[in-house]
Chains A and B, each alone.
Chain A
Amino acid sequence: MSVPRFWREQQNRYNLIGTHCTTCNTYYYPPRILCPKCRREGKVVEHQFKGTGTVVTYSIIRSASDQFNDLTPYVIAIIELDEGTRLTSQVICEIDEMYIGMPVKRVFRRLGEDGESGPIFYGTKFVPA
Chain B
Amino acid sequence: MRDVAVIGIGCTKFGELWDKSFRTLFIEAGEMAISDAGLSGDQIDEIFIGNMSAGRFVGQEHVGALIADYSGLATNNIPATRVEAACASGGLAFRQAFTSVASGMADIVVAAGAEKMNDVGTEETTDVLAAAADREWEGIAGVTFPGLYAMIARDYMNKYGLTREQLAAVAVKNHDNGLHNPIAQFPTKITIEGVMSSSLVADPIRLLDCSPVTDGAAAVILCPLERAHEFTDTPIQVLASTQASATIALHDRQDISTLDATVAAGNRAFKMSGLERSDIDFVEVHDCFTIAELCAIEDLGFCKKGEAGKLTEEGETARHGKIPVNTSGGLKSCGHPVGATGVKQIYEVVLQLRGEAGKRQIDAEIGMTHNVGGTGATVVCNILGRA
Contact = CB atoms under 8 A, between A and B. Distances in A.
Contact of A88 (B141, B201, B203, B205): B141
Contacts of B272: none
Contacts of A9: 136
B192 interface: no
A89 B151 CA distance: 12
A14 interface: no
B137 A62 contact: no
Given A65-B130, A66-B127, A88 B137 contact: yes
Contact of B137 (A66, A87, A100): A87
Contacts, number: 105
Contacts of B124: 65-66
Contacts of B142: 61, 64, 67-68, 71, 74, 76, 90, 111-112
Contacts of A69: 123
A5 B154 contact: no
Interface stretch (B6-14, B84-92, B164-172, B247-255): B247-255
A69 B138 CA distance: 16
Interface in B135-160: 135-138, 140-144, 146-147, 150-152, 154-155, 158
Interface in B200-225: 200-205
Interface residues of A, number: 36
Contacts of B122: 63
Contact of A78 (B199, B202, B205, B250): B250
B126 interface: yes
B202 A63 contact: yes
Contacts of A68: 142
A27 to B, nearest CB: 12
Nearest to A56: B256
A65 B126 contact: yes
A67 B144 CA distance: 11
Contact of B147 (A67, A76, A125): A76
Nearest to B137: A30
Interface centre among A5, A71, A89, A112 (most CB of B within 10 A): A89
A60 B200 contact: yes
A59 B127 contact: no
B141 A78 contact: no
Given A61-B143, A62-B203, A63-B202, A78 B151 contact: yes
A88 B248 CA distance: 13
Contact of B144 (A6, A64, A111): A64
Contacts of A62: 199-203
A66 B152 CA distance: 24
Nearest to A86: B251
Given A66-B124, A69-B123, A57 B140 contact: no
Nearest to B207: A63
A1 interface: yes
B252 A86 contact: yes
Contact of B158 (A57, A63, A111): A57
B178 to A, nearest CB: 23
A29 B180 CA distance: 48
Given A63-B144, A64-B142, A66-B124, A88 B249 contact: yes
Interface string B166-206: 00000000000000000000000000000000011111110
A5 B158 CA distance: 37
Nearest to A69: B123
29 contacts: A1-B140, A6-B140, A30-B134, A30-B137, A56-B251, A57-B151, A57-B154, A57-B256, A59-B147, A59-B150, A59-B202, A59-B205, A60-B202, A61-B143, A61-B147, A62-B200, A62-B203, A63-B122, A63-B144, A65-B124, A65-B127, A66-B123, A66-B124, A74-B142, A76-B151, A78-B250, A87-B137, A90-B142, A112-B140
Given A59-B147, A64-B144, 13 more contacts: A1-B135, A9-B136, A59-B205, A60-B200, A60-B202, A61-B142, A61-B144, A64-B123, A64-B126, A66-B124, A87-B137, A88-B250, A125-B141
Q: What are the 3 closest A-B residue pairs judged by CB atoms, nearest first?
A: A59-B150, A65-B127, A86-B251
